[in-house]
Amino acid sequence: MRQSENFTYEVGGRTYILDAKQAKDAFDAKRVINGRQGPEFNVMPLKYKWAYDLYREMEANHWLPQEVPMFDDIQQWKDPRVLNDREKNIIRIGIGYFCAAEGIVGDCAQTIIRENLSAPELKLAVGRHVHEENIHTESLLYMISSLGINPHEVTALFLSLPSVMKKNQVVTAHLPKLRRDLDLSKTENKQLFAKTVFGITQIMEGTQFYGLFLPILHLMRNGKMPGIGQMFRYTLRDESNHIELGRRLFLALTEENPDILTPAFKNELIEFMRAGVEAEVAFVDDLLPQPVAGLSPDEIKRFVHYNANRRLIALGWEPIADSKGEVILDNPFPWSSEIIYLKKNENFFETTVTEYGKVSNLQEVKNEDELFEGIQI
């Protein structure tokens, strides 16, 4: 059989020699869902270059919990002059909530999102997402063992708060049963899939997580529990990539499948976000029944709304109002932007994290027209 022309394809600092016809066929058959799936080499050329870009960035951000020192945290945890009961409660609930939440996100990302995707570069990126949820779980285990916390007590505390149960239930009740065999030729199932991507990455990771991240970062900023704060900061950096991965997936999915985003379904998703925010606001009252120094429950609630609106606006949608009719578009905690939203700031808290590599500049990836231009296929 006569081969078509070979061409060199460069991406991420590497060069690949590809058969033009097979590369074009693979490229053309790629879809977010319902695309070609098979055992053949099909990652290159990239159709969803943003996914590979994110994969490489996530890989470069790799961190190991046990590299974060916990000595100060262990001392402070035992000293009521440093950490009062309200502050300890924030840490306990934080550990309890995230132990459960990392599991929910990891399971959904693996068994609903990854298993139903077809383009290999998307599977690669979501596989890394799932792995990072494991790292987060490992960091929580490290915190529990370092502080001598009894995990059953943390779970009991966690389960005793109806607001916590509610906030998980709001998300999970909307998701399809954990399934890898959704019939994605049907619009209603495509919508369930889209809802899972939106619910997990934009509501749970993108909005609800922030109600707890913020008080923990506030403690760290005041010199309290620096090791735990640092681990949550790395977790947040990972979450930023998970949120962006989910956003790009959602946009690509709905662009390729125009039947998904009907006005009614879009409205359903916005109501879903509203329910997620409401549940988080109720949770803040349990988390912080009284203010701790420099932090009031009302400000955290505003922060939750602010994050919800960031997610909606990033999808090109309108922001939503809070219960008083106010649309919150400004961060009530400007200091947090520096910690949360600036990704490349490794030495901010002067701890060392292994550098696993630099992200290559993937901007040189060409679009389809440029990629196959002038090549004999």
Q: Which residues bind to Fe ion, rule: CB under 5 A?
A: 102, 133, 136, 205, 239, 242
Pick between residue 205 and residue 280 the one whose CB is nearest to Fe ion. 205
Alpha-carbon gap, residue 266 to 252, rounded angstroms: 15
The question of whether 142 is a catalytic residue gets the answer yes
Counting DSSP H helices and E strands in the chain, the numbers are 15, 2
By C-beta, is 18 or 91 nearer to Fe ion? 91
User: Quick one: which H or E segment has residue 232?
Assistant: helix 226-256
Q: How far is the CB of 125 from Fe ion (least distance, A)?
A: 12
Contact in structure between 203 and 250 (CB atoms under 8 Å): no
**Amino acid identity for residue 224 in this structure:** K
| Tokens linked to 226 | 């620096």
Q: Which two tokens stand for residue 359?
A: 């992200």
Least Cβ distance, residue 98 to Fe ion (angstroms): 7
Inter-residue contact 103 to 18 (CB < 8 Å): no
Of 189, 91, 185, 181, give the one whose Cα is nearest residue 144.
91
Q: Out of 9, 48, 142, 306, pick the active-site residue.
A: 142
Q: What is the helix (H) or strand (E) element at residue 8, kind and residue range?
A: strand 6-11
Q: Of 330, 282, 275, whose CA–CA distance to 306 is shortest?
A: 330
In the complex, least distance from residue 53 CB atom to Fe ion, rounded to whole angstroms: 18
One DSSP character per residue, 135-170 reads HHHHHHHHHHHHHT--HHHHHHHHHT-HHHHHHHHH
Q: Tokens for 122, please give them.
A: 């998307």
Residues 36, 30 contacting (CB under 8 angstroms)? yes
The answer to whether the CB of 45 falls within 8 A of the CB of 27 is: yes
Q: Which is nearer to Fe ion, 129 or 301 (CB)?
A: 129
Q: 207 to each of 23, 118, 213, 279, how far by Cα in Å?
A: 39, 28, 10, 11
Nearer to Fe ion, 91 or 130 (CB): 130
| Nearer to Fe ion among residue 140 and residue 184 (C-beta) | 140
CB of 339 to Fe ion, least distance (A): 17
DSSP string, 192-212: HHHHHHIIIIIIIIIIIHHHH
Q: Name the minimum Å distance from CB 242 to Fe ion.
A: 4
Token pair, residue 22, equals 């097979």
Copy the structure tokens of residue 127: 């596989």
Please identify, using beta-carbon distances, which residue of 133 and 322 lies nearer to Fe ion.
133
Cβ proximity to Fe ion: between 49 and 237 the closer is 237
Q: Which two tokens stand for residue 73?
A: 């945290």
The distance of closest approach from Cβ of residue 205 to Fe ion in the complex, given in angstroms and rounded to an integer, is 5
Question: Closest separation between CB of residue 134 and Fe ion, Å?
Answer: 9
Rounded Cα gap, residues 305 and 322, in angstroms: 7
Q: At 170, which amino acid appears?
A: V
CB of 209 to Fe ion, least distance (A): 8
Residue closer to Fe ion (CB basis): 121 or 205: 205
Catalytic residues: 142
